[in-house]
């Protein structure tokens, strides 16, 4: 299958996934995340066993450094998942989409801070425009858009851990859920006092949605992993804007979340910053192609 198609499936899936979490909004976000971790872990065991890669995945736990990195990345993605589901449960899909629009610019800032990567004028301007957008939202609401910033920074730091770890997506995700699943299992046992796995308010459609949470989480990751093998990072960078765009459209037009003029102005500044980011990525890619030739 074409790797671009895998990337399209992954990012469209992530863009439309708020509709899935809306099915179980009556279930608290903390509870939903523990189900997600457990069922993702079980589903990944099946996938890795089918691929005969299960034993290979455990090699990443041979050193303390790698184990610590996986534990850190697991905690970061767990926090990211919680914030995201909490935002959906509280009708904040638009603000959640903002977090993933900001994320590429946060990645630039972290690259400068941790890897001493130099930002050019376009990148600096892009970050300033995004900062102006966030400042406008802060002025409008009276507080920082903590959901957006929380999602952007947890996912950026998660990516930073993954970059240092240098592991495949499926192996790292399996080990992250492996390390988190005992916590999730103990939480659910304690929460329900051992009487039942699911809470009393869980209806049939919610039960099915919870049981499918592992598939919902891991299928786009597998598609993304396959696409990443064959596509350049700059190409994947363009695909990543599909997800927050779809989330934004869902929030405004399907779930009728508030989106007034001030928010529009703030988003315009952020979108302008992303436009510069994309322009810079295209320019750099053209330079590399010319150099190779």
Structure confidence at residue 195 (pLDDT): 47
pLDDT in tens, 122-155: 888 988 999 999 999 888 878 889 999 999 999 9
Report CA torsion sign: 45, 46, 51, 55: positive
Per domain, the residue ranges of the chain are 3-292
Q: Which one-letter DSSP state was computed for residue 143? A: S
pLDDT in tens, 239-271: 888 999 999 999 999 999 999 999 999 999 999
Q: Would you say residue 77 has pLDDT above 70?
A: yes
Q: Would you say residue 48 has pLDDT above 60?
A: yes
pTM (2 d.p.): 0.89
Structure confidence at residue 233 (pLDDT): 62
**Comparison of pLDDT for 285 and 196, the residue scoring more:** 285
**Comparison of pLDDT for 170 and 15, the residue scoring more:** 15
pLDDT in tens, 165-224: 888 888 999 999 999 999 999 988 887 764 445 555 556 767 777 888 999 999 998 898
Q: Which one-letter DSSP state was computed for residue 91? A: T
Query: Which pair of tokens denotes residue 62?
Result: 């041979």
Structure confidence at residue 119 (pLDDT): 81
């Amino acid at each position: 299958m074409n790797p671009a198609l895998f990337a399209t499936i992954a990012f469209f899936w992530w863009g439309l996934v708020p509709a899935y979490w809306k099915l179980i909004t009556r279930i608290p976000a903390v509870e939903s995340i523990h189900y997600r971790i457990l069922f993702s872990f079980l589903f990944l065991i099946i996938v890795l066993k089918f691929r005969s890669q299960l034993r290979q995945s455990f090699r990443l736990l041979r050193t303390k450094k790698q184990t610590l990195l996986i534990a850190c990345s697991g905690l970061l993605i767990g926090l990211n998942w919680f914030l995201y589901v909490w935002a959906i449960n509280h009708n904040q899909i638009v603000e959640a989409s903002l977090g993933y629009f900001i994320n590429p610019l946060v990645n630039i800032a972290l690259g400068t801070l941790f890897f001493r990567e130099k930002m050019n004028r376009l990148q600096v301007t892009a970050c300033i425009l995004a900062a102006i957008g966030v400042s406008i939202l802060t002025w409008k609401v009276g507080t920082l858009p903590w959901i957006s910033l929380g999602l952007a920074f947890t996912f950026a730091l998660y990516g930073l851990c993954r970059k240092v770890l240098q592991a495949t997506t499926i192996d790292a995700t399996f080990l992250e859920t492996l390390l988190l699943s005992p916590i999730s299992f103990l939480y659910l046992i304690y929460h329900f006092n051992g009487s039942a796995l699911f809470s009393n308010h869980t209806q049939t459609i919610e039960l099915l949605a919870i049981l499918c949470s592992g598939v919902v989480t891991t299928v786009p990751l597998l598609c993304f992993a396959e696409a990443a093998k064959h596509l350049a990072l700059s190409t994947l960078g363009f695909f990543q804007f599909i997800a927050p765009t779809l989330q934004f459209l869902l929030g405004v037009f399907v779930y009728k979340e508030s989106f007034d003029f001030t928010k529009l102005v703030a988003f315009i500044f952020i979108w302008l910053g992303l436009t510069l980011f994309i322009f810079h990525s295209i320019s750099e890619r053209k330079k590399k192609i010319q150099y190779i030739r």
